[in-house]
Structures are given as structure tokens and as C-alpha cells.
Amino acid sequence: MNLVLLGAPGAGKGTQAKIIMEKYGIPQISTGDMLREAVTKGTELGKKAREYMNQGKLVPDEIVVEIVRERLSQKDCEKGFILDGFPRTIAQAEALDRILEKMGKKINAVINVNVPEEEVIKRIVYRRTCKKCGAIYHLLYNPPKKESTCDKCGGELYQREDDREETVKERFRVYRKNTEPLIDYYKKRRIFFDVDGTKDVEGVKREVLNILEKIKR
Ligand code: ADP
Ligand code: ADP
Ligand code: ZN
């Protein structure tokens, strides 16, 4: 299964991607996670991406497209993959189509996690992420047992630098302008599915798994 998760920043894409990954054994490809890792390691890529990310802007298309092209060519993507946070522009979506076409593959479903802006801001501001294993928490909705420690691996939890209110506003503006048009782009192709992302994690999971069972048939 080749999947794309769409949705505003903080809608719950990463949370659902991890659930799908565990259930179906296909990798989550999060361009945000890959870029953050490059920034932490201080690689050339990280140096290029850092300023854009901290300002809530998109990293240029050429850069992210190359990361995804490389990642999709790896062996673990053969049985399928979950793109989380990519594509984010029409140009990226077109580049993805070309990459997949060359590989003789196509997207089976684009799942849009739908959550209104006010709610998403609450999700983002209280989001905490594990430095070690990437597990995602929420201080109110999905709190860790110990304030800044990961339940799964004992790693340290941190708040992303771009998850502060000022940057979140800009990320939203960028989402509306550049990413929302992808909804129509994919609707035209009958591979588009909307889920009600305002439900709790279990509720959203049920909707997502229903869609996946449907497309598997
Ligand atoms: P995205 O990958 O779309 O940016 P995340 O999966 O990181 O979103 O989720 C953003 C925040 O919202 C996290 O703190 C996460 O724990 C929380 N969250 C995710 N899904 C839900 C949900 N259905 N209900 C409440 N909180 C959620
Ligand atoms: P969220 O889901 O909360 O918006 P991500 O972790 O997906 O956050 O992305 C964090 C940041 O990484 C984005 O604000 C952007 O700067 C950069 N980024 C991630 N994916 C892309 C992409 N596909 N194109 C351009 N920039 C990206
Ligand atoms: Zn952890």
C-alpha cells in the first residue's frame, strides 16, 4: 500500500502514520523528521533547511524532492510506504507522480486528516516528542506518565523549536496557500479520502483503518 497523509500542521498525521506502520509493517516517511534529523546532525542538508524550518517556511521543493526520491528507492519501501508531510506543494505532488511512474508504482490512497485551525493550535502547542524514538505525546490529550520522559524508551521529551505560537501562525498561512490546493489535486483522481481528525486518536484510527481495508480489496 502506497499512502499519502495530508493535513494541517498538528492535525495528527504523524500519530496515525505510526499506527499504520505498526499494523501494516510499511515505513513512515516523514520529511519533517528527516529534515530535523539533518538539522540536529548539522549536515549540509541540515544547514540549508534550518532557517526555513525555524521561520515556519517550506524548505525548497528541489531539496525535499531529492530526499524523498532517495528514500523511496530503499528496499523497505518495496511493500509500500506512508508519506507523512510530503507532498506539501503542487510542484512536489507532480514530482512525486514522476518518481512513482518511473518506479512503476502509484499512490493507492491520499488520506486527509481534517481538523479546524483553533483545535490544531492546541495540539501543536502541547505537543512533545521523544528525542530518542520519535514517539509523539500531548501534555493534555496523550500525556506521558512522567512529565518529560518517554513511556516507550525512557528518552527525553522536547518541544520542537517551530511549535511555538508565533511560528505556528506562519506554518498555517503556508499550509493554506501551498498545501491545501493538494486536496483538489487528489480529489480529481478518486484516491482521496477525508477523515474527521477532531475525534480522539482511537476514533481517527478507526476511520483510517476502515479506508485501508476498503482499498485493499
Ligand atoms: P502532525 O504530524 O500532523 O503534525 P502529530 O501526530 O504530531 O501531528 O500530532 C500533533 C499533536 O496532537 C501531538 O501532540 C499529538 O499527541 C496530538 N494528537 C494527535 N492526534 C490526536 C487526536 N486525534 N486527538 C487529540 N490529540 C491528538
Ligand atoms: P507539521 O506536520 O507539524 O507541520 P513537519 O514535521 O511535517 O511538521 O514539518 C516541519 C517543517 O519541516 C515544516 O514547517 C517545513 O519547514 C519542513 N518540511 C517538512 N516537510 C516538508 C515538505 N514536504 N516541503 C517543504 N518543507 C517541509
Ligand atoms: Zn521514546
Lookup: cell for 96: 512525486
Contact 7 CB / ligand 2 (< 6 Å): no
Contact 53 CB / ligand 2 (< 6 Å): yes
| Tens-digit pLDDT profile for residues 93-119 | 999 999 999 999 999 999 999 999 889
Lookup: cell for 29: 516517511
Strand runs labelled E in 10-147: 28-30, 81-84, 109-114, 127-130, 136-138
Distance from the CA of 106 to the center of ligand 2, in angstroms? Answer: 23
Query: Which of 102, 67, 85 is closest to 16 using CA atoms?
Result: 85
Domains (range + CATH), the chain:
2-26+79-116+172-216 (3.40.50.300)
pLDDT of the residue at 188: 93
Residue 165 has pLDDT above 90, yes or no: no
Is the model's pTM score more than 0.75? yes
Distance from the CA of 65 to the center of ligand 2, in angstroms? Answer: 12
| Tens-digit pLDDT profile for residues 47-64 | 999 999 999 999 999 999
> Which helix (H) or strand (E) is 4 found in, with range?
strand 2-7
* Average pLDDT in the chain: 96
